[in-house]
Amino acid sequence: MPDQRSQRAARADASTTLSDFERSVKAGLTKTPKSLEPKYFYDEAGSALFDKITELPEYYLTAAETEILRDRSAEISDLVGPGAELAELGSGASIKTRLLLSALVEPATYIPIDISAEHMSAAAKDLQALHPDLAIHPVAADFMQPLRLPERSGNGHRVLFFPGSTIGNLQPADARQFLGRMHGEVGADMLIIGADLAKDRATLEAAYNDSAGVTAAFNLNLLARMNSELGGTFDLARFRHHAPYNEAAGRVEMHLVSTVDQTVTIGDLTVAFEAGETIHTENSYKFTIAGFHQLAGLGGWRPLNVWTDARERFSVHLMVPA
């Protein structure tokens, strides 16, 4: 789970039909091992819970990336140049975007892109009040699917902003393919991207297993959504949140663990769980700076600069097409 958790993970299209959700759920729960797509975390309740996660003391990602953007936005602005068009993937509440927009010289347009249309629209309204002369064009979309943005405006760079280490929610091969798509499909000629850095197990596991239980509620909300929208019969009290660090794979894994032998139905599908069996809901890969540059290079990008917070927990990269 990144800061913009696969909102801030890859998010589903706001126009996604119920059958798409149902199809994905049924496919995932009939696999071995069982899994669900993290983009479905972000209904209205899930988005609100994620915003709470970003304020937790254990969840260092938001504070570390915000520190970088606060302290380095002027340097980023100098490299981006005037009149830029900023398109943000998984924009959510657009909190960190404010730091960047305030530093950019006469930005032409801001294009927030997010699954949660209501959440995004409210954030865009707040941002418009802060920047009354800025053109804001929200796009409700799943950025993991083919993506069309408004026509370019102005003569500045089209800058893609992808904060929160959402890139870490993707499998490496998918991340390479995704980064490659951002050239032609989105037409980005600059990329500002956040990547969480590898660190000790205790820090990582605390970030995804907070003492207040907010991340657990966020994970379990996926079951509640299936009950509400798909007529599921999940008893949330019979599942628990578990997010261990898989050191060999270099990632934190989020799971929902069945605490008992049980059977659940979703429409015409019956799913049996053994006690201890899990549903794998999300990965959050962690990077070294060199390793991330290698991954981005395979996706067709080369680094111009990289910044870290003072404690070197998180990194923000400015890249251009290779």
Q: Which domains does the chain have, with CATH numbers?
A: 1-144+152-237+284-322 (3.40.50.150)
Distance in angstroms (rounded) separating the CA atoms of residues 180 and 38: 21
Q: For the chain, where are the E strands, in sequence order?
A: 34-35, 85-89, 109-114, 135-136, 139-140, 158-162, 190-196, 239-242, 245-246, 251-258, 262-266, 269-273, 278-285, 301-308, 314-321
Q: What is this structure's pTM?
A: 0.90
Q: How far is residue 51 from each of residues 47, 55, 66, 93, 218, measured CA to CA in Å?
A: 6, 7, 14, 8, 10
Task: Per residue of the chain (322 residues), give pLDDT as tens.
Answer: 765 544 443 344 334 455 889 999 999 999 999 999 998 998 889 989 998 999 999 999 999 999 999 999 999 999 999 999 999 998 766 678 889 999 999 999 999 888 777 777 788 888 888 889 899 988 888 888 888 888 887 789 999 999 999 999 999 999 999 999 988 788 899 999 999 999 999 999 999 999 999 999 999 999 999 999 999 999 999 999 999 999 999 999 999 999 999 999 999 999 999 999 999 999 999 999 999 999 999 999 999 999 999 999 999 999 999 9
Q: Which residues contact 206 (CB under 8 A, 6 or more apart)?
A: 58
Q: What does DSSP assign to residue 34?
A: E
Instruction: Say how many residues make up the chain.
Output: 322
In sequence order, the β-bridge partners of residue 143 are: none
Distance in angstroms (rounded) separating the CA atoms of residues 37 and 112: 22
Closest to 171 measured CA to CA, from 281, 283, 90, 295: 283
**According to DSSP H, which parts of 116-241 are helical?**
117-130, 172-184, 201-208, 214-230
Pull the structure tokens for residue 251: 């990632």
Q: For 55-157, where are the E strands, in sequence order?
A: 85-89, 109-114, 135-136, 139-140
Closest to 192 measured CA to CA, from 107, 281, 280: 107
Q: What angle do CA 12, 147, 164 make, to 5 degrees?
A: 60
Amino acid letter, 159: V
